[in-house]
């Protein structure tokens, strides 16, 4: 059995690929001082309960947790695919990722998570750019074959079958 034909596993690894790409760009934006909060910083604030700066160990742990979370999001996206048409997959990956970005921004604003709000424009731009990279890489690595298999699998799960066996007319029971 090929592990990558399994929707769950393929979704996880596609999410991890997207997460790695997004985190590399996010770290680069941090390195050139274009952003005040990298993806690892967002995760670190949630995990450790304090604002940056973080120790090297905390950053590495945050990066690992963030990449695991992006893998989980890849699984979610993979299971959403059969519910939508599989055309324009890159666009749908981008919409999915920007929805997650906006949702996370909303939750941190709603709960006033220290260190996440207010943000300068360049940080918001950097975060939406890296989020977009995540969604595009997620959809691209997921591939059309998995989308095709997921759609066919869903169709097969919705076959109409009788709810019970037909009652056989057996004359021996009436005697």
Judged by phi (left if over 0) then psi (alpha if -120 to 50, else beta), residue 132 lies in alpha
Separation in Å, CA 26 to CA 5, 39, 133, 172 = 30, 6, 10, 77
pLDDT of residue 146: 56
The DSSP code for 116 is T
pLDDT of residue 145: 58
Residue ranges in the chain modelled with pLDDT below 50: none
CB atoms within 10 A of CB 152: 11
**pTM as predicted:** 0.80
pLDDT of residue 51: 92
Measure the CA dihedral 5/6/12/14, to 10°: 20
Domain boundaries defined on the chain: 3-152
Question: What pLDDT, in 10s, does the model give residues 40-51?
Answer: 999 999 999 999
Q: Is the C-alpha dihedral spanning 109, 43, 130, 103 positive or negative? A: negative
pLDDT of residue 5: 74
């Amino acid at each position: 059995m090929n592990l990558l034909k399994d929707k769950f596993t393929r979704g996880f690894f596609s999410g991890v690929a997207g997460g790695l790409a997004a985190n590399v760009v996010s770290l680069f934006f941090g390195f050139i001082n274009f952003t005040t909060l990298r993806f690892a910083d967002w995760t670190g604030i949630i995990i450790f309960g304090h604002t940056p700066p973080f120790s090297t160990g905390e950053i590495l742990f945050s990066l690992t947790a963030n990449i695991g979370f992006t893998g989980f999001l890849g699984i979610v996206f993979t299971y959403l695919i059969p519910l939508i048409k599989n055309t324009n997959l890159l666009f749908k990956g981008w919409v999915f990722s920007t929805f997650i970005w906006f949702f996370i921004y909303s939750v941190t604003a709603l709960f006033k998570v220290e260190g996440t709000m207010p943000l300068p424009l360049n940080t918001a731009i950097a975060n939406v750019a890296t989020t977009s990279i995540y969604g595009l890489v997620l959809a691209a690595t997921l591939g059309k074959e998995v989308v095709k298999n997921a759609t066919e699998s869903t169709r097969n799960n919705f076959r109409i079958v009788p709810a019970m066996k037909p009652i056989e007319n057996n004359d021996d029971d009436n005697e």
